Amino acid sequence: MSSNFKRIALVGRYRQDSILDTLTQLCDWLENEHYEVKLESQTAQALKQAERGLSMDKLCQETDLIIVLGGDGSFLGVACSAAEHQLPVLGINHGRLGFLTDIHPSHCISEVAKVLAGDYLEEKRFLLETILMDTRVHESALNDVVLSPGPLPHMIEFEIYINAEFVCRQRADGLIIATPTGSTAYALSGGGPILSPDLEAIVLVPMFPHTLSSRPIVIDSRQSIKIALTLGNEGSAQLSCDGRARIPLAAGSHFEIQRKKQELRLIHPKHYHYFETLRSKLGWTHKPEKPSF
């Protein structure tokens, strides 16, 4: 059994010595095993091989598999490009389990070896695409799109439309629109539900809504969402995608969010179980040795 992964891209942006060690080890091992190793610019710099560095775009064109070292944050930085090029991504964490980076650095080589030998699970995760109607700017997000006010937490007012039907006008600190992948990130702190990762659904979580009967709403991922800032807003609002891309929004502007066509190809080791990660991250009880039935 063997995979078609010959050209391997390494991305390890997080500035931590422990990551650098894992990165060096992995890079050496891969080259030893005659894989073609590509390095992202910042990663190359960190390895003091700046001359080998490639832009994310170039990297995506010349590779079969991306390996990200770091936390879920590092993974997010790569996810959109990878999805656009339909490249599979494997995540190695820096010692603390992530939802997206599920290989522990201490087992890095052996786990990567298995993946390269074709022994892995591939999971599809969908992304959100946000289109600003004024400027036609497009932005992608694997986790979430967050509408928030400017500097100080103050109420903003906006209207939500689903499939062009009016849902509600809200006054709130903001709104989180999350994928199943993002449902265990920021949206969870905001009181949103956990969406099973394979569920074709999007959740809208109001942030500190003025109307106490506001609740998270879960809709089909194929429905289109439109958010309009009302004209009454004093001061500005802004939009962020996966915590990046702070796009300022004027009162009266609106944007649309829909499921992105290209999905992320997320690679897991064979022994991966979503709910095991969930239990570990949320501090739930462990799996019992034998089930109760």
- Catalytic residue numbers read 72
Minimum CB distance to its own copies, residue 158 (Å):
8
Contact between 229 and 253 under an 8 Å Cβ cutoff? The reply is: yes
Q: Is 249 in the site for its own copies (CB under 8 A)?
A: no
Q: Is 250 in the site for its own copies (CB under 8 A)?
A: no
Q: Which is nearer to its own copies, 6 or 210 (CB)?
A: 210
Q: Is 146 in the site for its own copies (CB under 8 A)?
A: yes
The residue within the footprint of its own copies, chosen from 169, 261, 270, 271 (CB under 8 A), is: 169
Of residues 75 through 114, those in contact with its own copies by CB under 8 A are none
Q: Which is nearer to its own copies, 51 or 151 (CB)?
A: 151
Q: Is 240 in the site for its own copies (CB under 8 A)?
A: yes
Report the first-to-last Cα separation within the chain, whole angstroms. 37
Q: What is the Cα–Cα distance from 214 to 200, expressed in whole angstroms?
A: 23
Residue 166, strand partner residues: 161
Q: What is the Cα–Cα distance from 142 to 163, expressed in whole angstroms?
A: 21
Q: Are strands 201-207 and 174-178 parallel, antiparallel or unpaired?
A: antiparallel
- Three-state DSSP at 43 gives helix
Of residues 189 through 228, those in contact with its own copies by CB under 8 A are 189-196, 198-201, 203, 207-220, 223, 226, 228
Retrieve residue 171's tokens: 């006054």
Q: What is the Cα–Cα distance from 265 to 258, expressed in whole angstroms?
A: 19
Q: Is 287 in the site for its own copies (CB under 8 A)?
A: yes
Minimum CB distance to its own copies, residue 272 (Å):
11
Total residues binding its own copies (CB under 8 A) = 75
Contact between 168 and 158 under an 8 Å Cβ cutoff? The reply is: no
Residue type, 166: F
Q: Is 235 in the site for its own copies (CB under 8 A)?
A: no
Q: Which is nearer to its own copies, 63 or 214 (CB)?
A: 214
- Three-state DSSP at 112 gives helix
Q: Is 229 in the site for its own copies (CB under 8 A)?
A: yes
Minimum CB distance to its own copies, residue 165 (Å):
6
